[in-house]
């Protein structure tokens, strides 16, 4: 039965056990694509001070920096060997001064809570950018989030994305469709959909 669901792309079943703390590392090419989009569509993003609160081993941070973005803070709930990381639970975090954007690939099991927390922590006009499955758009609980904080942009990947079970360098299945969801504090319009 798993083979049928995987062929349909209609499953949440992963090959093997789920990673501890729902940690799946973001390949740099994935972040590179949204960086290119940001430079073209929100050029002031290059001046943002960015916080990455689920920094993992730093792959997303490396891509942001290599693309000219300014990552000023990064944290994670677990020490994964990233030099200089602040060990902290984002869902318990307090506001950090001078942060224009929170940019992350949150654990999917608490992605809604990450979005709600980010919107609480951001100053006016601040951005929250998260990588997630396209299914993040559905569900009653997230519907309440979107009623209050609709995403300004939904950027859908044209190809399937492979994330990494990082401690063993094993790709997850590429059967899922991913997107970047870009929220702007106090935005109340309808989302714009684009492709990466």
pLDDT digits (tens, 9 = 90+) for 118-142: 999 999 999 999 999 999 999 998 9
Cα gap 68→16, rounded to integer Å: 37
Per-residue confidence band for 143, with pLDDT thresholds at 50, 70 and 90 = very high
Q: Which of 94, 109, 52 is nearest to 76 (CA)?
A: 52
Q: How many helices (H) and strands (E) are present in the chain, helices listed first?
A: 5, 10
Tokens of 95: 């506001």
With a cut of 90, say whether residue 168 has pLDDT above it: no
Backbone conformation region of residue 22, classed left if phi is above 0, alpha if psi is from -120 to 50, else beta:
left
Q: Is the pLDDT of residue 182 over 60?
A: yes
Integer Cα distance of 142 and 43 in angstroms: 29
Mean pLDDT of 23-47: 93
Instruction: Please list the residues that pair with 164 across neighbouring strands.
Output: 25, 171
Rounded to whole angstroms, how far apart are CA atoms 14 and 134?
16
For 77-134, strand residue ranges (E) read: 86-87, 101-104, 127-133
Q: Which pLDDT value is given to residue 18?
A: 42
Q: What residue has token string 């501890």?
A: 20
The token pair at 84 is: 């200089």
pLDDT tens profile 93-110: 999 999 999 999 999 899
Query: For 16-24, what is the mean pLDDT?
Result: 53
The answer to whether 28 touches 57, Cβ cutoff 8 Å, is no
Give the pLDDT band (50/70/90) at residue 161. Answer: confident
User: Could you tell me the pTM of the whole model?
Assistant: 0.86
**Mean pLDDT across 2-13:** 42
């Amino acid at each position: 039965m798993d083979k049928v669901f995987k062929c349909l792309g209609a499953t949440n079943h992963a090959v093997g056990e789920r990673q501890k703390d729902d940690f799946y590392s973001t390949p740099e090419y994935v972040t590179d694509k949204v960086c290119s989009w940001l430079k073209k569509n929100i050029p002031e993003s290059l001046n943002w001070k960015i916080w990455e609160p689920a920094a993992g081993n730093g792959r997303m941070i490396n891509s942001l920096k290599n693309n000219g973005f300014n990552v000023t803070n990064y944290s994670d709930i677990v020490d994964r060997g990233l030099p200089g990381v602040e060990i902290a639970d984002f869902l318990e975090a307090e506001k950090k001064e001078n942060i224009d954007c929170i940019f992350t690939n949150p654990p999917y099991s608490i992605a809604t809570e990450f979005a709600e927390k980010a919107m609480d922590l951001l100053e006016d006009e601040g951005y929250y950018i998260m990588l997630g499955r396209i299914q993040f758009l559905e569900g009653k609980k997230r519907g309440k989030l979107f009623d209050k904080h609709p995403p300004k942009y939904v950027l859908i990947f044209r190809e399937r994305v492979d994330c990494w079970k990082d401690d063993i360098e094993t790709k997850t299945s590429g059967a899922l469709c991913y997107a970047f969801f870009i929220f702007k504090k106090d935005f109340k319009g309808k989302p714009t959909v684009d492709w990466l």
